[in-house]
Amino acid sequence: MQGLWLIVGLGVLVVALPELWARWRSAGRIRTVRDVPVNEVALVLGAGVRSDGKPSRILQGRLDIALELLRAERARRVIVSGSPHSRGYSEPVVMRDYLVAHGVAPEDVLLDESGVDTWSSARAAAGCFGLRSVTVVTTAFHLRRSIALFRRYGIDACGVGHDAAADGLRRVSARGARREVPATVKAFWLSR
């Protein structure tokens, strides 16, 4: 029986510690467009491309947040980070095209095609782009882990999230929130 309690205790630790890490590292850093500090760069994390080459609804929500940040002069440029192979399209190119179609100057949008996951996006932001400060734009359920990973790479990160549930994407939001548990465990234990 003692062995069972030890296994249960270790299991709780394996899950609880990463969650505490994400909450601690993101505390006070989840903001709105109105109260986020002004930053040179907003970095939008990818979220899929539709089969017709348009951003998925959840990705469009993230891009619309980036547009709000630019219009409110809370960021000056945008890095779009995602997979170069999303349903046959480059996710960052699709993201750039959406932003440009909505009035963003092409030279103000930088592409990161190494962003196949949040960890890779954070690593590229620190290494390839040399960022020391960034506003991360993602979906609300994904913010804590994202900020924690960017901070792990020495980037002073805060974040603004798209509220997918309020935007009619309740199922996607619920599924994403459930996915955050194992993703946060992986980020804490494996992303070094």
State both tokens at 121. Answer: 């996006």
Domain ranges of the chain: 2-190
pLDDT the model gives residue 6: 66
Residue 191 clears pLDDT 80, i.e. is over it: no
What 3-state class would DSSP assign to 49?
A: strand
The domain 2-190 having CATH identifier 3.40.50.620: the answer here is yes
Virtual CA dihedral for 71, 78, 76, 131, nearest 10 degrees? Answer: 150
Residue 35 clears pLDDT 90, i.e. is over it: yes
Which of 41-50, 83-92, 124-133, 173-182 comes out lowest in average pLDDT? Answer: 173-182
The pLDDT tens digits of the residues spanning 140-168 come to: 999 999 999 999 999 999 999 999 888 88
For the entire predicted model, the pTM comes to: 0.92
Query: DSSP readout, 63-116?
Result: HHHHHHHHHTTSEEEEEEE--S-BTTB-HHHHHHHHHHHTT--GGGEEEETT-S
Maximum separation of any 2 CA atoms in the chain, in Å: 64
The pLDDT tens digits of the residues spanning 69-98 come to: 999 999 999 999 999 988 889 999 999 999
